[in-house]
Amino acid sequence: MPQIIKLRGSGLLKIVSLIMIILGAISVASGFFTPNSGQTLVNVLGVDPIAIQYFQVQGMISIITGAVMLVCGIFGFRLCNRADKVQLLIILGVVNIIAAAFTTLYSYVMMPIGIRIMEEVQQAIQEMGSALAGNMNVTGLMQNVPLMLTGFILPVLFIVGALLNKLPPKAPRAPKNPPWEGTAGQ
């Protein structure tokens, strides 16, 4: 029976790729629903119509970065034990980091508009006399920080897994004889 040689980074690459596939799919799916949020805020709460464009752009970015993460995850999962595809995996990881950097930069540039929209939403809910108004928090936009960090950590781990695949594989261990087999053959 031929032994399958497992590359050093294949386990890390497979786990990170699965996480990227899941998060990428969620990001793409949420990107399709995000533009409707802006329209709802304008129609129901009377928020500034700029919310429509803000959420449309957010949705497009979510779809694009989610698709990049999804493609990266699929390739990583399929090629996790192929030493000849290390360069492709590194390139995909770098593209993913660039997409995460673009998303982070966009989020910080657009933060004032997002805060203004959240303040308008909070004010509209307070005017309606809802009990929810006290629970709303404008700094809730900062909850994106862990997601932004994940956008960088996963691609870095992806690249580390690909780089580990460049190293020579570990020698397979010889199977140990179980103690119950004894020394009957000697």
- Secondary structure (DSSP) of 91-128: HHHHHHHHHHHHHHHHHHHSHHHHHHHHHHHHHHHHHH
Instruction: Report d(CA 134, CA 129) in Å as an integer.
Output: 10
Overall pTM surpassing 0.85 (yes/no): no
Task: Count other C-beta atoms under 10 Å from residue 80's C-beta.
Answer: 24
Indicate the burial class of 158 (C-beta count within 10 angstroms; 0-12, 13-18, 19 or more): buried
Nearest by Cα to 162 from 93, 73, 78, 68: 93
Nearest by Cα to 113 from 134, 141, 75, 135: 141
Give CA angle at 43 (38, 48), nearest 5°: 60
Element (H, E) at 1: none
145 token code pair: 């920080």
Q: How is the chain split into domains, by residue range?
A: 10-168
Written as tens digits, the pLDDT of the chain (186 aa) is 455 677 888 899 999 999 999 999 998 998 888 777 777 777 777 777 888 888 888 889 889 999 999 999 999 999 988 889 999 999 999 999 999 888 888 877 887 787 778 778 777 777 776 545 454 444 444 445 556 667 789 999 999 999 998 888 776 666 676 666 655 555
